[in-house]
Structure 1
Amino acid sequence: MWLNFSGGRALVTGAGKGIGRDTVKALHALGTAVIAVSRTNTDLVSLSEQCPGVETVCVDLGDWEATERALGNVGPVDLLVNNAATLLMQPFLEVTKDVFDRTFNVNLRSVVQVSQIVARGMIQRGVPGSIVNVSSMVAHVTFPNLAVYSSTKGAMTALTKIMAAELGPYKIRVNSVNPTVVPTAMSQKALTYPDLARKLKERHPLRKFAEVEDVVNSILFLLSDRSASTSGSGILVDAGYLAS
């Protein structure tokens, strides 16, 4: 499937590592001007070396005021990938206010804020656009110690549909991708318990986790005109987990 993003401008959050980083690299390779957002400056420096010309913004998206200062005048954006997330594991009975607030601020509130900034710009310019929210299969299934993280992803499912409904009249599409475990630093936190990785793989009909490339390909599809009639949807990249 041939995708053409040349002439467009994309913003990717959580761009320093994992899915976000590879999304930036893929968009850059396809001729897109990319704004990479991360709270870790060293990651942005190395990304700039790999992808010359990529704009970088270093900001903690969990800080509303700092995000407004950093992105409030970001300029025209045609494509947005809300990928930034934090995973802080706690059993439900031990969930603290700090973990709850931090997780929701980064995983969900920043999606609202950054999407507002970008969508308002699209509307003012009178141009169509595409927004992809990076969710998780744990929006639909439960795992121990992920009460808060899973709640943010469940809420993201509703938010994606609401955004699609309200932004649709402006020709702005909004979708999500919902991957299973992928080999990133964040995902490894969920696999620190004995036998969990083995048991998880056995539950997947394909007997594998997803690769980062699999998730990136779904993101690119949803960003592109190849999905021109798709909005308010979520693509499961779960190796069949929810089918079993």
Structure 2
Amino acid sequence: MVTTFPRTPSFRLDGKSALVAGASSGIGLGAAVALAEAGARVTLAARSTDKLATIASQLSELGLSTETLLMDIQDVEATEAMVTSLAPFDILVNSAGLARHSAALDTTIGDFDAVVGVNFRGAYFLTRAVARRQIEAGRRGSLINISSQMAHVGGVDRAVYAATKHAVEGFTKSMAIEWGSYRIRVNTICPTFIRTPLAEQTFANPQRLKWVEEKIKLGRIGEVEDIMGPVVFLASDAAAMITGTALMVDGGWTAG
């Protein structure tokens, strides 16, 4: 009698198309590289096309083919029109983000509106636009929002930022419920503090840096590479039964 063994689903993304918003630096750039290395055709989207052109050229030298797209997700109408005009994507990684940290008593209306406009409003409508095209084309997909550990806890000087990330978790779960019948998966990745330009302000403050290092149980700051594997996993068939959930990449921060 021949035993039929289960086979590990593929982590490869050959033949898949991916849109990465916020791809010009940090986690977004890491996500774009990871998806391209796994075989996806990656469209790099950000507000600076000059920077994207340089990145695309350098990736081409590594044998990775990418395209570039000028996109400011704060401009919801333009973003939706752009996504509608393009062929549907199989994968979305929404890594566009903004942080303007201050004590809650010092939050300005301008800073509040700016952070909400990118992290919540922009992310919501970009996710919806990509899903709508997938539904119209009758194709399944994986939509990944880069959230934060701050979507599950609070933090000093982070009332607005944490609020927007809590909001991302909420709409991600609701969208996952609504679009599950279309075989569209919607998840978040929740990083701890990652060594990117966005975190430089925090690391430059000795007290804040001490707070971060004490909270991360693995005893080190996160690196962009720590997010790349989780992105490929959630985008791939290896995560085919995962939707509406948050993948914590926080070094144990929220465990305690």
Under TM normalisation by the shorter chain, which class is it? over 0.9
User: Please, which of 10, 24, 44 is the counterpart of residue 16 of structure 1?
Assistant: 24
Check if 1:94 corresponds to 2:102: no
User: Please, which of 25, 30, 33 is the counterpart of residue 38 of structure 2?
Assistant: 30
Deviation, 1:189, is 2.1
Instruction: For 2:211 and 2:105, locate their aligned partners in 1 and report how far apart those are by CA, in whole Å.
Output: 24
Q: What is the aligned partner in structure 1 of residue 75 from structure 2?
A: 63
Moved over 4 A (4+): none
Q: What is the aligned partner in structure 2 of residue 207 from structure 1?
A: 219
Check if 1:54 corresponds to 2:62: no
Secondary structure, aligned partner of 1:62: coil
Deviation, 1:69, is 4.1
Moved more, 43-52 or 122-131: 43-52
Check if 1:6 corresponds to 2:14: yes
Deviation, 1:33, is 0.8
User: Please, which of 226, 236, 247 is the counterpart of residue 235 of structure 1?
Assistant: 247
How many residue pairs were aligned? 244
- Structure 1: gaps spanning 5 or more residues: none
1:52-131 to structure 2, matched below 5 A, reads 52=60, 53-131=65-143
Deviation, 1:191, is 2.6
Instruction: For 2:129 and 2:87, locate their aligned partners in 1 and report how far apart those are by CA, in whole Å.
Output: 9
Q: Report the TM-score when normalising by structure 1.
A: 0.95
Q: What is the aligned partner in structure 1 of residue 4 from structure 2?
A: none
Instruction: For 2:216 and 2:19, locate their aligned partners in 1 and report how far apart those are by CA, in whole Å.
Output: 32
Q: Alignment RMSD, CA only?
A: 1.5
* Partner amino acid, structure 1, of 2:33: K
Which one has the largest radius of gyration?
A: 2
Residues 43-101 of structure 1: CA distance to partner in whole angstroms, max 9, x if unpaired?
Answer: 20121112233111112211223323433312120001111001111211121221111
Secondary structure, aligned partner of 2:247: strand
Instruction: For 2:83 and 2:201, locate their aligned partners in 1 and report how far apart those are by CA, in whole Å.
Output: 30
Moved more, 218-227 or 189-198: 189-198
Deviation, 1:190, is 2.5
Deviation, 1:129, is 0.6
Q: What is the aligned partner in structure 2 of residue 45 from structure 1?
A: 53
